[in-house]
Structure 1
Amino acid sequence: MKKIIILACLCSTLVACENVEKKAALKLAEARAAFEAGNYNEAKMQIDSIKILYPKAFDTRRQGIYLMQEVELKEQQKTLGYLDSMLTVKQQEFEAIKSKFVLEKDTAYQRIGHYLVPAQVIERNLHRSFLRFQTDETGVVSLTSIYCGSYNIHHTAVKVTAPDGNFTETSVSRDSYETTDLGEYIEKADYKLGEDGGVIAFVAANKDKNLRVDYKGERSYTTHMLPADRQAASDIYELGKTLSAITEIKKNIEEANLKIQFIQKKMTERKTETK
C-alpha cells in the first residue's frame, strides 16, 4: 500500500513539474515572439515573469536567461546605432559654428583647450575690466571676471543687473588670484557654469540689454558690459551646449560598447560550456 502511495505521489509530482514547464514554455514563446518583433521591453517582462510565476521551471528559466542575453545585445546594438547618428548630427552642428571661435591650447601641458570668441582673447583686452566667457573642449562653460585698475578691490564675486532691475550674482569664486604689472593691479576670478549663480545664462538671455556689472569685494567697482561681451556670452553658452552634448554622447557610446562586449563574452562562455 505504501509503495502505491509513493508511486502516486511521484507521478503527481512529475505531472505537476511537466505542467509547470509547459506553462513556463508558453511564456518563453511569448517572450521570443516579442523579441523577434523588436519589442524588447515586452520580451524582458515575459522572461522576468517566468522566474516569478514558475520558479521551479528550471530548464525554461535557463532558456530565458539565454534569450535575455540576446535581447540585451540587440537592445544595446540599437542604442549604439541611435547614438552614432546623434553624434554625427551634433558634430555637424559644431563644424558649422567652429570658425566663430578661437581655440586656446598649449599641447605641451594642456590636455583640454578652451574656446573663446575672437573679441575676448587676452591680447585684445589688456588693461580692461570685463567678463570673459569660455568653454573647454568637453563643453564645460565658465566665466572669468577680470579687473584692471590703479588699486586693488580684492573682488571674489560679481553681480549683473538688467535695466528693469532683474539681477543675478555669482557665489564666492573658488579660484581667484591677484597680481600687478607696471603699477596696474590685476584681479581674476573664475566661475564654472552651475557655480556661477546663473550669471552666464542671464547674460546670454539679456544680450540685447545694457547690463551693469558690480564687482563684489573690499572695494566697490561698477562697469557696463560692451555689446561684444554680451554676444560672447550667448555664443559661448550655445557652443558649450553643443560640446557638452557631444561629450555625453561619446560617454554613452563607450558604455554601450562595454555592455555589448560583456554580453558577447557571456554568450561565448555559455556556448563553450554547452559543447
Structure 2
Amino acid sequence: MIKHFYLWICASAILLSTCGDNSHEASEQYEKAVKLFEAGQYESARNAIDSIEQLYPKAFKQIKEGMLLLCKVKQKESERNLLYIDSVLKVRRSELEAAKKAFRFEKDAKYQTEGNYVYNKLPKQEAITRSQLKVLVTENGQMQLASVYYGSAPLKHSSIRVTLPDKSKAETLAIGYDGANNYRFSNDGKYTEIVTYKDGQCSAVASLIADNTDKAITLTYLGGSRYTLVLDRLTREAVKATRDLYNLMRSVDDLSREYQLNVRTLELADKQVMQLEKQQAEK
C-alpha cells in the first residue's frame, strides 16, 4: 500500500511539472518577440506575442510583459503609418490643387448650400436648349452625371446607357420620377427632362466614358421612349477630367481619415504604455 502511495506521489509530481507555467519557454518566446520588435518586424512581433498566451497560458509574468510590448508595437506601427500617410497626403493634395485649376467653382448662394466643380471648357448655360450629358463634382466630393433631354415630345426616361463601337456598354441605375433627382417640365411646346445620377448610380457609365475618350460613344435614354445621341469629344473629355478630380478628392478624404485613425490609435497606445509601465514599477 505504501509502495503504491509512493508511486502515486511521484507520478503526480511529474504531471505537475509538465503542467507548470513553462516560464523558461515563455521567456524565450518573449525574447524572440523583443528582437523582432527591435528589428522593426512588427507583424512578426505581434504573432510572437500572441503565441505566448496561446502556448503558455500560465506564464503570467511573460504574458504581462507581452501586453506592454504589444502596446509598444502599436505605437511604432502608428508612428510609421503617420509618416507614410503624411508624405502621400502631401502629394495627393498637391495633385488635387493642380487638377482643380481645370475647373470652375459654381455656387448659387441663394439656392445652394453646396457648390460644384465644373470643367472649365464646358460652356456656361443659363437655359437648357439641347439634349446633353452633364457632369460635375460637388465640393464635398460626390460625382454626378445628369442626362438632359430637350425636345418636342416627352420621353419620361429614368436611366441611360452608353455604348462603344464594339458594343461594350454600361448603364446607370434607374431613378424613379420624384420631382427632384428626376424631374420634367414643358414650356412653349418643348419638353425638358433632367435625371441626376450620383456616385455609385453612375460609376460604370462614367468609367466607360473616361476610359474611352478617343472613341465614338452612343448615349441612349432608357425607361420611356428611346432617344439616342453621340457624345461629343468635349463631353467625353469633361467626364474623364471630372472622374480624375473625383478620385483625387476621394483619395485625399480617405487618407485624411486614415491619418486621424492612426493619431487616435497612437494616443491610446501611449496611455496604455504609461499605465502598464506604472503598474510594473509599483510591483
Aligned to 1:169: 171
Distance 1:252 1:102, change over 3 A: same
* 195-204 or 53-62, which deviates more: 195-204
Alignment-mate amino acid for residue 165 of structure 1: K
Aligned to 2:104: 102
Aligned to 1:35: 37
Aligned to 1:148: 150
Distance 1:169 1:9, change over 3 A: closer
Alignment-mate amino acid for residue 264 of structure 1: D
Alignment-mate amino acid for residue 234 of structure 1: K
Among candidates 242, 245, 253, match of residue 239 of structure 1:
245
RMSD: 3.0
For residues 72-105 of structure 1, what are the alpha-carbon distances to aligned partners after superposition, in whole Å with 9 as ceiling and x for unaligned? Answer: 1111111111111111111111122211012234
**Distance (Å, rounded) in 2 between the aligned partners of 1:211 and 1:194:** 21
Distance 1:235 1:15, change over 3 A: closer
**Distance (Å, rounded) in 2 between the aligned partners of 1:108 and 1:252:** 35
Q: Which runs of 5+ in 2 are unaligned?
A: none
How high is the TM-score relative to the length of structure 1? 0.86
Distance 1:36 1:197, change over 3 A: closer
For residues 90-126 of structure 1, what are the alpha-carbon distances to aligned partners after superposition, in whole Å with 9 as ceiling and x for unaligned? Answer: 1111122211012234567766532221243652673
**3-state SS of 1:255 partner:** helix
Q: Does the aligned pair in 2 maintain the 1:50–1:61 contact within 8 Å?
A: yes
Alignment-mate amino acid for residue 23 of structure 2: E
Aligned to 1:268: 274
Q: Shift in Å at residue 43 of structure 1?
A: 0.9
Q: Does the aligned pair in 1 maintain the 2:85–2:255 contact within 8 Å?
A: yes
Among candidates 73, 76, 83, match of residue 74 of structure 1:
76
* 54-63 or 97-106, which deviates more: 97-106
**3-state SS of 2:125 partner:** helix
Aligned to 1:213: 219
Q: Does the aligned pair in 2 maintain the 1:51–1:61 contact within 8 Å?
A: yes
Q: Which runs of 5+ in 1 are unaligned?
A: none
Q: Shift in Å at residue 15 of structure 1?
A: 9.8
Distance 1:247 1:112, change over 3 A: farther
Q: Does the aligned pair in 2 maintain the 1:170–1:191 contact within 8 Å?
A: yes
Alignment-mate amino acid for residue 171 of structure 2: E
Q: Does the aligned pair in 2 maintain the 1:135–1:142 contact within 8 Å?
A: yes
**Distance (Å, rounded) in 1 between the aligned partners of 2:264 and 2:112:** 28
Distance 1:108 1:31, change over 3 A: farther
**3-state SS of 2:101 partner:** helix
Size of the aligned set, in residue pairs, is 273
Among candidates 222, 236, 242, match of residue 230 of structure 1:
236
Aligned to 1:58: 60
Aligned to 1:87: 89
**Distance (Å, rounded) in 2 between the aligned partners of 1:82 and 1:60:** 32
Distance 1:187 1:33, change over 3 A: same
**Distance (Å, rounded) in 1 between the aligned partners of 2:70 and 2:112:** 45
Percent identity (aligned): 29
Runs of 4+ in structure 1 off by over 4 angstroms are 5-18, 106-112, 271-275
Alignment-mate amino acid for residue 100 of structure 1: A
For residues 147-205 of structure 1, what are the alpha-carbon distances to aligned partners after superposition, in whole Å with 9 as ceiling and x for unaligned? Answer: 12233211111122223333322231253111334554221112234322721111112
Q: Shift in Å at residue 145 of structure 1?
A: 0.5
Q: Shift in Å at residue 13 of structure 1?
A: 5.5
How high is the TM-score relative to the length of structure 2? 0.84
